[in-house]
Amino acid sequence: MAGQKDIQLHFSSLVESMKGWGSLMLLLVLVIMLLQWLLEAKKWQVFLRPEHIIKLPEAFRMILSGIALSMATPNRMGEFAGRVMHLPSGQRLQGAAFTVIGNFAQLIVTCLAGSIALCMEWQDQHLYTTSVGIETVQSVLLWATPLTLVFFMLLYFKAGLIFNWILSLRMLGKFRDQLGALSTIPNNVLLKVLLLSSLRFVFFILQYWLLFTLTHTGIGFHDTFVGISIMLLWLAIVPTFSILELGLRWEFALLLMGALTENALGIAVSVTSVWLINLMLPAAVGAIGLLRFRSR
């Protein structure tokens, strides 16, 4: 019964928080969602130049289409299909490859932030409650993630050499004209995409922190960065479908930050809100755009 009273208390507090400044904070979370997907659109725009020059609103529309199609595929692998369907047929294969590289850049940032967060958590030793297997997983990731990050960085900035080798294979010779630009991606373009991906990650953390504040969890920015960075690293490792991902987010967030607050409802509401705002809302808008595109 005591637990039920706590839930009722937290729920009443949550409803009360939506008045006044709470509504403005929620609006800010929505604005940040728009900004971070605009950053993704900017990454897409940067990759497509100079072969295919598009305006930012058009790139944003392609991104929304990709989100809509990604929801039913493991780790959003179907995202490229929604993007490239808007490109001329001769550039779709190249566009799919650019999508993979852009997502790889975001994975590198996730690994970097996760590695930093694991080191910070290792020093603090207070983030999560002792659970079967969790300490072992954290210890393995603490040492494996930096090594993986170095390997990923080498792959990323040496992508041209890798694509040159791939295109030298006889079976891929017929795609050489379509994919030739991939072997000459300038490092300044790759660096710019990596910086845009880093800024997107900062926006992710900011959204969670605002919602943790709004739901009165008492979790500060430091612990938000550490807990959410590790959670996103776990999600990047575990294969899942976007539509089923919410349950894993609840589980990981509660495992990592449940010891920091008695307000488990606030954590669950915050995680659910970010998932709905960042994925489901853009996916719904993108699905409408896809229906219009197919009706032409």
Neighbour-count burial for 25-46, b at 16+ CB within 10 Å, e otherwise: ebeebeebbeebbbbbbbbbbb
Which of 70, 68, 65 is CA-nearest to residue 240? 70
Task: Decide if 117 contacts 229 (C-beta within 8 A).
Answer: yes
pTM for the whole structure: 0.85
Burial zone of 160 (CB within 10 Å; 0-12 exposed, 13-18 middle, 19+ buried): middle
Task: Calculate mean pLDDT across residues 117-137.
Answer: 70
Expressed in angstroms, the distance from the first to the final Cα of the chain is 58
Indicate the number of domains in the chain.
1
Please give the full DSSP string across 15-42, using - where no structure is assigned: HHHTSTHHHHHHHHHHHHHHHHHHHHHH
Question: Does residue 146 have a cis peptide bond before it, meaning omega lies within 30 degrees of 0?
Answer: no
Average pLDDT of the chain is 81
> Reduced to 3 states, what is the DSSP secondary structure of residue 75?
coil
Residue, of 74 and 140, whose pLDDT is higher = 140
Task: Decide if 204 contacts 221 (C-beta within 8 A).
Answer: no
Confidence of residue 271 (pLDDT cuts 50, 70, 90): very high
How confident is the model over 227-260, as pLDDT tens digits?
Answer: 999 999 988 888 776 667 788 888 888 888 888 8
How confident is the model over 62-83, as pLDDT tens digits?
Answer: 899 888 888 767 667 777 777 8
Which residues are CB-neighbours of 106 under 8 A, at least 6 positions away?
A: 197, 200, 201
In total, the chain counts a number of residues equal to: 296
Q: Give me the pLDDT at residue 5, please.
A: 44
How confident is the model over 193-225, as pLDDT tens digits?
Answer: 999 999 999 999 999 999 999 988 889 999 999
Residue, of 110 and 157, whose pLDDT is higher = 110
Domain that residue 254 falls in: 2-294
Sign of torsion over alpha carbons 24, 29, 34, 36? positive
